[in-house]
């Protein structure tokens, strides 16, 4: 299947311009971030940060400084509260398993929303095999948590709660302060974890204003290198390691630290928050132009998630009726536009996105969805090019599917 798609693209591609909008699944790393990383492979601080020689001390100091840079943008004052992991999946696993293992005698209920990412959903599913009860809070048609239903789910046995500030698929910005207060008002001992992977660098958040115990941060979703992420762990919180091995500077994650990737993550954080308001306004203009251009000019389309300021500034998720999402990603690739269908975790499985079904989309509506994300590096010319080639791609596929049904 993969090889046949490659051959199709090679044979039929007609690319005037390339526009990469698949930031959900991977991202290009800007040259200024790459240049920041390069010296740490062979010229600077390439030693093991646990060793007491010059290059080891340099690596240790680099990691501490990087942790400070990553954490300061969400109000973290101590770099020791930032724990680097190989990515957001590992950070979410560490948060959930680490807390639930350490507090398994305090209660065995976990509360999450119906639209959490699969690296939360599947870990919770695994814990059900060990006697934990997982309660999923329903959401409304725009993906907002139903607070009254949340109140029904949380009780004295709730040991852990996990919610994303921004949903990775439909961009819903949750009222996380209200969600946090609701949980803590019912059970002050419940450990609260917020996944900031799709919010960091786009939606402001401060752990002093919303005093969560745990928070996940992603590197590649702010255009940093892949293979690195971070988990904020509030000082004094009891949490167990989920892997064992050589313990370095990261007490909750064993192994030799990936100093170049950590440096790249810190640089990406710095750039994401530089000229923050201007960058966010720029992304909002691109987002709204793309959404409006699609909805107003292509029939039978549905916006998935809310509009305006209740939506992340980078997120566009549209369902194209009478059109299959995977086929549309291929069709757009032939024109140099790169998007994804549904979430990355389900794209090779013939199942609709659990997020889209949770907000009430039918099977065929979910399967016709396309996810796009813009960045501060995209231009309005990029968006206009997408709006130029997208209607042609949709119409072509609808004609094919229409003829097949005749």
* CATH number of the domain enclosing 71: 3.40.640.10
In a domain, residue 221? The reply is yes
In a domain, residue 360? The reply is yes
- Total structural domains within the chain: 2
In a domain, residue 252? The reply is yes
Q: Sort strands 109-113 and 158-164 into parallel, antiparallel or unpaired.
A: parallel
Per the model's pLDDT, the better-predicted residue between 227 and 8 turns out to be 227
Stretch 191-196: mean pLDDT: 98
Catalytic residue IDs:
345
Per the model's pLDDT, the better-predicted residue between 151 and 52 turns out to be 151
**Same domain? 89 vs 192:** yes
In a domain, residue 246? The reply is yes
User: pLDDT-derived band of residue 8, with 50, 70 and 90 as boundaries?
Assistant: low
User: pLDDT-derived band of residue 76, with 50, 70 and 90 as boundaries?
Assistant: very high
* Number of other residues whose CB lies within 10 A of the CB of residue 3: 7
The pLDDT of residue 347 is above 60: no
Contact between residue 165 and residue 120 where contact means Cβ atoms under 8 Å apart: no
CATH number of domain containing 323: 3.90.1150.10
CA gyration radius, the chain: 22
Stretch 327-336: mean pLDDT: 95
3-class DSSP state of 368:
coil
Tens-digit pLDDT profile for residues 249-294: 888 999 999 999 999 999 999 999 999 999 999 999 999 999 999 9
Stretch 58-71: mean pLDDT: 97
**Same domain? 10 vs 89:** no
Contact between residue 109 and residue 77 where contact means Cβ atoms under 8 Å apart: no
Tens-digit pLDDT profile for residues 351-363: 789 999 999 999 9
**Same domain? 382 vs 348:** yes
The pLDDT of residue 231 is above 60: yes
Contact between residue 197 and residue 168 where contact means Cβ atoms under 8 Å apart: yes
- DSSP state letter for 220: G
* Number of other residues whose CB lies within 10 A of the CB of residue 227: 16
Final residue of a structural domain among 252, 273, 294: 273
Percentage of the chain exceeding pLDDT 70:
94
Stretch 325-332: mean pLDDT: 94
- DSSP state letter for 310: G
Contact between residue 224 and residue 29 where contact means Cβ atoms under 8 Å apart: yes
Predicted confidence at residue 122, as pLDDT, reads 96
Domain of residue 313 covers 2-21+275-405
**Same domain? 208 vs 309:** no
Predicted confidence at residue 12, as pLDDT, reads 64
Q: How far apart are CA 343 and CA 353, in angstroms?
A: 7
| Top-ranked range on mean pLDDT: pick from 49-53, 107-111, 232-236 | 232-236
Tens-digit pLDDT profile for residues 96-116: 999 999 988 888 999 999 999
User: pLDDT-derived band of residue 246, with 50, 70 and 90 as boundaries?
Assistant: confident
**Same domain? 280 vs 241:** no
Predicted confidence at residue 40, as pLDDT, reads 96
Final residue of a structural domain among 273, 304, 333: 273
Q: How far apart are CA 276 and CA 256, in angstroms?
A: 33
**Same domain? 227 vs 80:** yes
In a domain, residue 321? The reply is yes
**Same domain? 115 vs 218:** yes
**Same domain? 329 vs 382:** yes
Final residue of a structural domain among 258, 273, 288: 273
**Same domain? 13 vs 73:** no
What Å distances lie between residue 101 and 84, 106, 357, CA to CA? Answer: 20, 10, 31
**Same domain? 259 vs 379:** no
**Same domain? 267 vs 197:** yes
In a domain, residue 26? The reply is no
3-class DSSP state of 231:
strand
Tens-digit pLDDT profile for residues 166-191: 999 999 999 999 999 999 999 999 99
pTM score over 0.95: no
| End-to-end C-alpha distance for the chain, whole angstroms | 26
Q: How far apart are CA 172 and CA 309, in angstroms?
A: 9
**Same domain? 149 vs 187:** yes
Q: What share of the chain is helix, strand, coil (3-state, %, to 5)?
A: 45, 15, 40
Predicted confidence at residue 406, as pLDDT, reads 46
């Amino acid at each position: 299947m993969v090889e046949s798609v490659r051959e199709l693209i090679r044979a039929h591609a007609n690319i005037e311009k390339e526009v990469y909008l698949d930031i959900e699944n991977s991202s290009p790393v800007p040259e200024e971030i790459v240049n920041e990383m390069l010296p740490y492979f062979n010229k600077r601080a390439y030693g093991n940060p646990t060793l007491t020689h010059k290059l080891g001390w340099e690596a240790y100091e680099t990691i501490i400084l990087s942790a400070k840079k990553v954490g300061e943008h969400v109000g973290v004052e101590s770099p020791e509260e930032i724990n680097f992991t190989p990515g957001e999946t590992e950070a979410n696993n560490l948060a959930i398993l680490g807390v639930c293992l350490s507090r398994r005698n305090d209660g065995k209920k976990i509360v999450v929303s119906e639209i959490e990412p699969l690296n939360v959903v599947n870990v919770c599913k695994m814990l059900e095999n060990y006697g934990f009860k997982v309660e999923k809070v329903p959401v409304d048609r725009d993906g907002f948590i139903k607070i009254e239903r949340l109140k029904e789910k949380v009780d004295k046995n709730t040991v852990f709660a996990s919610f994303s500030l921004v949903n990775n698929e439909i961009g819903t910005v949750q009222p996380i302060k209200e969600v946090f207060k609701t949980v803590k008002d019912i059970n002050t001992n419940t450990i609260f974890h917020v996944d900031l992977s799709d919010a960091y660098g786009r939606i402001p958040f401060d752990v002093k204003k919303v005093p969560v115990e745990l928070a996940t941060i992603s590197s590649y979703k702010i255009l940093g290198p892949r293979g690195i992420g971070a988990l904020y762990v509030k000082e004094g919180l009891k949490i167990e390691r989920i892997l064992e091995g050589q313990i370095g500077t990261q007490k909750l994650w064993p192994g030799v630290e990936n100093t170049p990737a950590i440096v790249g993550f810190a640089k990406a954080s710095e750039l994401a928050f530089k000229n923050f308001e201007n960058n966010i306004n720029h992304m909002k203009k691109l987002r709204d132009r793309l959404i409006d251009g699609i909805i107003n000019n292509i029939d039978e389309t549905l916006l998935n998630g809310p509009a305006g300021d209740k939506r992340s500034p980078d997120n566009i998720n549209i369902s194209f009726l009478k059109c299959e999402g995977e086929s549309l990603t291929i069709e757009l690739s032939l024109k140099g536009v790169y998007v994804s269908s549904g979430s990355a975790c389900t794209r090779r499985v013939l199942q609709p996105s659990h997020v889209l079904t949770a907000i009430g989309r039918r099977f065929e509506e979910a399967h016709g969805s396309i996810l796009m994300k813009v960045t501060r590096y995209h231009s309005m010319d990029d968006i206009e090019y997408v709006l130029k080639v997208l209607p042609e791609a949709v119409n072509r596929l609808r004609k094919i599917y229409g003829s097949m049904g005749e």
